């Protein structure tokens, strides 16, 4: 294993002083090191990976210096448009070093949402015509790989990728905490809301630990999982999935469980939901000001006024709460809804050490959810 410091120092020695990206669990030790050692002007945790590529392009044009962009391979999809239509040598030719955490690497067990992404990663990089180098924990001198990648990006004036295998970085603990120390945990807040749901209510829940906590709570209550759609991938899209369901099923309330990092990632969805007029959609954002599920790197979540944003977008009601009683009051008032509503619950960071993972597959989850709605699956009706 290689210390984040060694890699960071090598990258710095290559004249790179600006860092941006979206955190990833596989890169969490490196991301934490950057968060602690680069001042806020020169390290931007971006809303999404496409924004990070664009920030890197702006920094380059203002300085002539290449930058470092980090992301999980799930985020490559968000980055493809600016990679191909902005940074590409056939367009503005912007050099940058992109560090990608390789989730779902073939032969290594991982979650289902990572398996295809992991399998196609290197082919995808080839299709994008991006030069790539692998950083593996067994390398004796990863510095030489990084230096070589930087030579290529300077010579060809284009993005070059470092593909990082799991286990490459040794441990580093984030020192800078940015979270509310008050309040309740995400799990407790989720349980309070689930206890207040009506029998027909559906929950559409976001990427990360929240969905895992919800799954365990349904187990603890001895219920099935058919009322919940657990969005294991597609970070930032949970509210749009919920809107799609709510738009088709006015007879059911749809409660969207979102995270601050995920909501900020594709915040444009709030504008469209706000204008939808759907009175059966309740958007709950569990805001801990952090990407808690992947190491706790800060988001801007605690510095922005999410209810004001939602109201400006047209949500009928939007409120921020911290206390269990205020959660209950808000949920009770929503019975008289007249348009989409938003509840921000400010929570503290952290989760149980023994938190498990759903034992059902994504397809089983989808089928149970559709079954609960009485929808005949396409493959059944075709047969």
Ligand X SMILES: Cc1ncc(C[n+]2csc(CCOP(=O)(O)OP(=O)(O)O)c2C)c(N)n1
- The residue ranges that bind ligand X (CB under 6 A) are 22-24, 72, 74-75, 78, 186, 206-210, 235, 259-262, 288, 290-294, 299
**In the bound complex, what is the minimum distance in angstroms from residue 331's beta carbon to ligand X?**
20
Question: Minimum distance from CB of 206 to ligand X (Å)?
Answer: 6
Output 79 or 245, the one with its CB closest to ligand X.
Answer: 79
As a whole number of angstroms, the distance between CA 299 and CA 286 comes to 13
**Least separation in angstroms between CB 378 and ligand X:** 27
- Are 307 and 342 spatial neighbours (Cβ–Cβ below 8 Å)? yes
Minimum CB distance to ligand X, residue 233 (Å): 6
Q: How far apart are CA 251 and CA 241, in angstroms?
A: 17
Three-state secondary-structure class, residue 69: strand
| Closer residue to ligand X (CB): 142 or 261 | 261
Between residues 178 and 280, which has the closer beta carbon with respect to ligand X? 178
Whichever of 154 and 188 has its CB closer to ligand X, that residue is 188
Given the structure tokens 């970085």, which residue do they identify? 169
Could you write out the three-class secondary structure of 96-152?
EEEEEECCCCCCCCCCHHHHHHHHHHHHHHHHCCCCEEEECCCCCCHHHHHHHHHHH
Q: How far is the CB of 126 from ligand X (least distance, A)?
A: 21
Distance of CA 40 to CAs 13, 18, 46, Å? 20, 10, 12
**Number of alpha helices (DSSP H) and beta strands (DSSP E) in the chain:** 15, 14
Phi-psi region of 94 (alpha: psi -120 to 50; beta: other; left: phi over 0): beta
Rounded to the nearest 5 degrees, what angle is found at the Cα of 265, between the Cα atoms of 185 and 255? 55
Nearest distance, CB of residue 375 and ligand X, angstroms? 27
Q: Is 150 or 164 the residue whose CB approaches ligand X more closely? A: 164
Beta carbon nearer to ligand X, 27 or 160:
27
Identity of the residue, 228 or 316, whose beta carbon is nearer to ligand X in the bound complex = 228
Structure tokens at 225: 């999982």
**Nearest distance from C-beta of residue 25 to ligand X, angstroms:** 7
């Amino acid at each position: 294993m290689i210390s984040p410091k060694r890699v960071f120092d090598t990258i710095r020695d290559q004249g790179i002083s600006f860092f941006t990206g979206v955190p990833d669990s596989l890169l969490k030790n490196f991301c934490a090191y950057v968060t602690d050692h680069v001042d806020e002007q020169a390290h931007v945790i971006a809303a999404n990976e496409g924004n990070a590529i664009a920030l890197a392009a702006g920094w380059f044009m203002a300085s002539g210096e290449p930058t470092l962009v980090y992301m999980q391979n799930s985020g490559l999809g968000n980055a493809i448009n600016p990679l191909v239509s902005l940074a590409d040598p056939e367009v503005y030719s912007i050099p940058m070093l992109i560090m990608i955490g390789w989730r779902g690497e073939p032969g290594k067990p991982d979650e289902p949402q990572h398996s295809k992404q992991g399998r196609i990663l290197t082919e995808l990089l080839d299709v994008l015509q991006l030069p790539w180098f692998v950083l593996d924990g067994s390398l004796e001198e990863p510095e030489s790989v990084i230096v070589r990648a930087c030579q290529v990006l300077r010579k060809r004036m284009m993005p070059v990728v470092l593909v990082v295998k799991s286990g490459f970085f040794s441990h580093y603990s984030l020192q800078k905490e940015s979270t509310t120390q008050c309040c309740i945990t995400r799990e407790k807040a989720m349980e309070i809301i689930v206890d207040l749901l009506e029998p027909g209510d559906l929950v559409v829940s976001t990427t990360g630990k929240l969905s895992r906590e919800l799954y365990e709570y349904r187990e603890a209550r001895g219920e099935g999982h058919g009322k919940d759609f657990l969005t294991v991938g597609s970070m930032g899209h949970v509210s749009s999935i919920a809107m799609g369901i709510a738009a088709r099923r006015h007879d059911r309330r749809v409660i969207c469980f979102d995270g601050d990092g995920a909501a900020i990632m594709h915040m444009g969805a709030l504008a469209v939901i706000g204008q939808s007029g759907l009175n059966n959609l309740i958007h709950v954002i569990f805001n801990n000001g952090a990407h808690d599920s992947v190491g706790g790197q800060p988001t801007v979540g605690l510095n922005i006024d999410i209810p004001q944003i939602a109201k400006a977008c047209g949500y009928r009601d939007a409120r921020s709460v911290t206390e269990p009683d205020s959660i209950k009051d808000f949920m009770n008032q929503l019975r008289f809804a007249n348009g989409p509503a938003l509840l921000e619950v400010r929570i503290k960071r952290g989760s149980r050490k023994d938190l498990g993972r759903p034992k059902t597959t994504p397809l089983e989850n989808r089928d149970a959810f559709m079954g609960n709605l009485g929808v005949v699956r396409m493959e059944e009706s075709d047969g």
